[in-house]
Amino acid sequence: MKILIVDDSSTMRRIIINTLGRIGYSDVVEAEHGKAGLEKLKLGGVEMIITDWNMPEMDGLEFVQTVRGQNASIPILMVTTNAAKEDIVQALQAGVNNYVVKPFTPDTLKEKIESLLG
């Protein structure tokens, strides 16, 4: 399953990729912000998105809203330091399926991904 990871921090992308690898997902595509993420999506084949919120060019919220305008069903997991309840509500309203607050453990990421995939 191809997973798109959108985060402006290369370190965070590395952490997510390593965590995904440990739980059996090794087919990943990376983007450093929402705009680049949309370009990667156009190439096709992405079946799940893991995105940051705070990024230059296009943030995660705008990215998710844009994706949802084109694709209602692709699972989207947001991984962010924005932990306030109103932030989570805003992200869910934008179309995020689930939410992970940084820093996270591999088990947490695994649980969230598995719940997303049903």
Q: Are 29 and 62 in contact (CB under 8 A)?
A: no
Least distance from Mg ion to the Cβ atom of residue 52, Å: 4
Applying CB under 5 A, the span of 16-24, 31-39, 48-56, 90-98 interacting with Mg ion comes to: 48-56
Establish if 52 lies at the interface with Mg ion (CB under 5 A): yes
Least distance from Mg ion to the Cβ atom of residue 33, Å: 9
- Give the H or E element holding residue 116: helix 106-117
Q: Are 81 and 101 in contact (CB under 8 A)?
A: yes
Establish if 8 lies at the interface with Mg ion (CB under 5 A): yes
Which residues of the chain form contacts with Mg ion (CB under 5 A)? 8, 52, 54-55
